[in-house]
Amino acid sequence: MSVPLSVAVTLGLLFFLSAGLNEQVAEGCTCLQRHPQRVFCESDIVIRAKVIGNVASTLPNLVAFNIKVITTYKPSIKKDIRVIYSTKICGAHLENGEYLLSGNIVDGVMIFGLCDLVWRWDQLSSVQKGNLSMYQRGCVCEITSCTGASCLTKKLQRKCLIGVKKSLSLDYEDALQAVCLPRSDGSCKWQK
């Protein structure tokens, strides 16, 4: 029994498309590299918290962690958060210990994932810890990546650049130790 050419081509295309879709799903749990100040500014909430352990989740498809908030960096809320949630797929797994965490507030609960700030507190440098108190002031600035000639532009306005180390931009490692803040002339500049 022979298979018509059109059926064979269709099956071949379906195979390659399904393989491509599976590859996208497998790569769906990666995040673009972003400066922590940018993540801070795009988050609803940023806290330093001590994770006490896992608790049974009351929400579907979410993992729950029992925490004690040590410091709230954004926003200054009065509500005492005791449980935070991460997605089961592409979520972050936390061990007991202190973390810097960012996320969004959805229906009154904090939800975070791999693309949020999920950093062990003891692995942050003293400079990074100090920068947290200045990030909010820098939220009027845009932090963006640059390559080649785009790193040399003089018309930055409210931008700080991450790219090849030049006079107007910082490489990513140096940028992690800096904060992008507005200046009196309305422009923004990296400050260490």
CA distances from 129 to 86, 97, 159, 161 (A): 23, 16, 22, 21
Q: Which residue has the higher pLDDT, 54 or 153?
A: 54
Q: pLDDT above 90 covers what percent of the chain?
A: 56
Span of 35-39, 134-138, 142-146, 162-166 with lowest mean pLDDT: 162-166
**How high is the pLDDT of residue 171?**
84
DSSP secondary structure, 29-61, as one string: T------HHHHHHH-SEEEEEEEEEEE--SSTT
**How high is the pLDDT of residue 153?**
63
**How high is the pLDDT of residue 102?**
96
Q: Say how far apart CA 38 and CA 141 lie, in whole Å.
A: 9
Please say if the pLDDT value at position 144 is more than 90. Answer: no
Say if residues 62 and 111 touch (Cβ distance below 8 Å). Answer: yes
Burial 134-167 (b: 16+ CB within 10 A, else e): ebbebeebbbbbbeeeebeeeebeebbbbbeeee
Residue pLDDT, tens place only, 73-128:
998 666 788 999 998 888 888 999 999 999 999 988 999 999 999 999 999 999 99
Residues 144-172 have a mean pLDDT of 74
Binding residues: 29
What confidence tier does 135 reach under pLDDT thresholds 50, 70, 90? Answer: very high
Q: Say how far apart CA 88 and CA 74 lie, in whole Å.
A: 25
Binding residues for Zn(2+): 29
**How high is the pLDDT of residue 156?**
61
Q: Which two tokens stand for residue 7?
A: 């059926």
Q: Which two tokens stand for residue 186?
A: 């309305």
Residues 42-55 have a mean pLDDT of 96
Q: Which two tokens stand for residue 82?
A: 């005791």
Residue pLDDT, tens place only, 60-77:
999 999 999 999 999 866
Please say if the pLDDT value at position 29 is more than 90. Answer: no
Q: Which two tokens stand for residue 47?
A: 């806290």
Please say if the pLDDT value at position 172 is more than 50. Answer: yes
